[in-house]
Structure 1
C-alpha cells in the first residue's frame, strides 16, 4: 500500500479550529461593543464634536462563556452616561445556549 502523501493530526486540527472560532467570536463581540459605545457617545474615539453626549473612560475586561469557549470582552466605560448594551445582558456571564446545555 502506498504511503499517504499528506498526513495531519486530527486533534491538533480540531483544537486550532476551536481557537480560531473562539477568537473570531471574541473579536466580533468587542467590535460590536466599540460601535455601540461610539453610537451612544455621539463621536468616535478621539473625535471632537458638538453633539458629544459623554466621554470614553477606558475599558474593563469581563469573561463570557459561549458555546465556542470562554472569551474575554472589553466593556467600554463612559463618563457622563451609563453604558448599556443590547448585545450582552447586564451581569450575564454565560450565553443562553450554554445555560441550556
Structure 2
C-alpha cells in the first residue's frame, strides 16, 4: 500500500491515495500505522516538489549506501586496526579515491530540470504581478 502512494504521478494524487490507504488501515484496525502514515505524509512526499526526473534519486540513498559498502569492503580486508587514526586514514584515503575517480565525478542530478522548473515558476509569478 505504501508503494502505491509513491507510485503516483504528482503530490495531489499521492495525497489522495494516502487518504484511501489510511482509511483501509483503520478498517483493518491498524490505527497506529494509520496515525504514523498520516503524521509523516508531508515529510515523506517532500521529494515530489522537485522535478519528476529527480524523484528516484532524491528519495533513495543508494549513493551513500554504495560508498559505505566500498568502505566496509576495504576495512574488512585489514581486519583489526591498531588505533582509530589508522582506520580513519584508510577511510579518508578511500573517500579521496572515490572523489578523484570517474565514479566520484558522475553527475547525480541533472540541474537543467531544476533550473527549468524555477524559471517557469518565476515566469508565472511575473505574469500574475
Q: TM-score with structure 2 length normalisation?
A: 0.26
User: Which is bigger in relative contact order (C-alpha 8 A, separation at least 6)?
Assistant: 1
More helix by share: 2
Q: TM-score with structure 1 length normalisation?
A: 0.31
Larger Rg: 2
